[in-house]
């Protein structure tokens, strides 16, 4: 029998979204923020984070993802999880919609290059992307040439993938 997951939805103000993202359940999350001129992909929200500055984003752990995008009257927010939402988050959402869930993985671009004098330990490089890439990997030491992937889950209906929930960045092959 396939695993089940729930997608919870809400429409929140910037202030409500800010409070939701400050929840203790989202303290050590991986964060992907998007806007036309910039991308942020790291552990934890950036200093001085304001939802209005980032019209689209995702914060995720191994068990939960909260994603949002700016709408006409505030932010459209979804919480995806295969488990019951923690109380601190559940109060923002109504009853979730059930989906069939299957594991997947997304290979992240670049191979690892360690740098002794880099406070972040090194970077990932891909020939087609003319800048160093940073992937928020927490799994221990990487060696030159290592790759990482994003563990995720497909949320499906009638055999069709409707959403991909991001989980954690792990060494490729783990």
Given a cut of 70, is residue 75 above it in pLDDT?
yes
Q: For the segment 33-53, what is each residue's pLDDT rounded down to a tens digit?
A: 998 888 899 989 999 999 999
Q: For the segment 139-169, what is each residue's pLDDT rounded down to a tens digit?
A: 888 889 999 999 999 999 999 999 999 999 9
Q: Give bridge partners of residue 167 from the DSSP assignment.
A: none
Residues 69 and 99: their CA atoms lie apart, in Å, by: 21
Structural contact between residues 99 and 7, judged by C-beta atoms closer than 8 angstroms = yes
Strands (E), the chain: 3-12, 30-35, 38-43, 56-60, 64-71, 74-81, 97-107, 111-114, 122-126, 129-133, 148-157, 160-171
């Amino acid at each position: 029998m396939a695993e089940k997951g729930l997608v919870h939805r809400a429409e929140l103000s910037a202030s409500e979204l800010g409070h939701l993202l400050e929840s203790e359940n989202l303290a050590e999350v991986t964060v992907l923020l998007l806007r036309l001129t910039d991308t942020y992909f790291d552990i934890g929200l950036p200093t001085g984070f304001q939802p209005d500055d980032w019209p689209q984003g995702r914060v995720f752990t191994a068990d939960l993802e909260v994603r949002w995008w700016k709408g006409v009257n505030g932010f459209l927010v979804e919480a995806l999880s295969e488990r019951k939402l923690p109380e601190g988050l559940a109060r923002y959402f109504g009853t979730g919609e059930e989906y069939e869930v299957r594991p997947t993985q997304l290979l992240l671009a670049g191979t690892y290059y360690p740098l002794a004098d880099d406070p972040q330990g090194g970077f990932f490089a891909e020939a087609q992307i003319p800048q160093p890439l940073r992937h928020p990997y927490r799994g221990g030491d990487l060696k030159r040439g290592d790759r990482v992937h994003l563990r995720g889950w497909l949320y499906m209906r009638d055999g069709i993938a409707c959403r991909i929930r991001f989980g954690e960045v792990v060494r490729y092959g783990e």
